[in-house]
Amino acid sequence: MVITIDGAAGVGKTTTAKELAKELGYQYFDTGAMYRAVTFYFLAEGVDLQKSSNISESLKAMNLRIDFLSGNEMILFLDEKDISLKIRNQKVTSYVSEVSALKEVREMMVSIQRTTTEKGNFIVEGRDIGSVVFPDAKYKFYLTADYDIRAKRRLADFEKINEAKNINKIKEDLIVRDKYDSNRKLSPLKKPDGAIIIDTSECSIKEQVNQILKHIER
Ligand code: DC
């Protein structure tokens, strides 16, 4: 079974999805990390994003592996090297919207997401999970939050990987990325049909998770 959690960057998807996975004994699945891993790989290989044939060839040659550890951790390996932390850096963050808008990339990622979740129970977080990847999921949630709160949360994420950042710049980047993700042709970020909206601006993590659990119990 799959429970979907969609929403923009910094709305609290990751913390909520991880906690929910713990509460329900499900596996946490971060699809944004997959798009980041492809971006990391394309940057390392110097792939020309304007050339479709170049993209397809590079994707075929990519050796990406996802490992699920103890429920709420997901590790990504490129050529058997753990890249889970590196994919969070600023360079990857600034290119990931462009890479995730590519048809070849999306087709491959969606196919991996569907086959990976065929067996077992998963909390899957992303942008198009309830709308495109699992439109028939029984429980779908769409998280939102104010820009200022989201920027503060992102700042804390960057501090974790020792990257100094300016909060106003983060906010500007969020606005640009949202615009790009929401207006792209393929699988744009939007509230999936039938998804329940959870506004996390004023919520603690516990409250967010409890709201979702209440809907599921109902
Ligand atoms: O959640 P995140 O910031 O790690 O996601 C990185 C990027 O990946 C985000 O800008 C949009 C893209 N993405 C996507 O297009 N589809 C998904 N299901 C998940 C993420």
Instruction: Examine residue 208 and state whether it is found in any structural domain, yes or no.
Output: yes
Q: How far is the CA of 10 from the centre of ligand 1 (A)?
A: 11
Euclidean distance between CA atoms 31 and 39, whole angstroms: 13
pLDDT at 214: 95
Instruction: Examine residue 84 and state whether it is found in any structural domain, yes or no.
Output: yes
pLDDT tens sequence across 105-141: 999 999 999 999 999 999 999 999 999 999 999 999 9
**Other beta carbons within 10 Å of 142:** 24
Domain count of the chain? 1
Q: How far is the CA of 204 from the centre of ligand 1 (A)?
A: 23
pLDDT at 180: 86
Side-chain-side CA neighbours of 57 within 13 Å: the count stands at 9
Instruction: Examine residue 218 and state whether it is found in any structural domain, yes or no.
Output: no
pLDDT at 71: 65
pLDDT at 92: 95
User: Ligand 1: which atom is nearest the Cα of residue 177?
Assistant: 10
Instruction: Examine residue 74 and state whether it is found in any structural domain, yes or no.
Output: yes
pLDDT at 55: 95
Q: Say what the pTM is.
A: 0.91
Q: How far is the CA of 128 from the centre of ligand 1 (A)?
A: 9
Instruction: Examine residue 201 and state whether it is found in any structural domain, yes or no.
Output: yes
pLDDT mean by block of 10 residues, the chain; 218 residues: 94 93 94 98 94 92 92 90 93 92 96 96 96 97 95 85 82 90 90 96 91 91
CATH number at residue 37: 3.40.50.300
Instruction: Examine residue 64 and state whether it is found in any structural domain, yes or no.
Output: yes
Instruction: Examine residue 54 and state whether it is found in any structural domain, yes or no.
Output: yes
pLDDT at 217: 85
Instruction: Examine residue 137 and state whether it is found in any structural domain, yes or no.
Output: yes
Residue 185: domain span: 2-213
Which protein residues touch ligand 1 with a CB less than 6 Å away? 9, 31-32, 35-36, 96-97, 100, 126-129, 177, 181
Q: How far is the CA of 99 from the centre of ligand 1 (A)?
A: 10
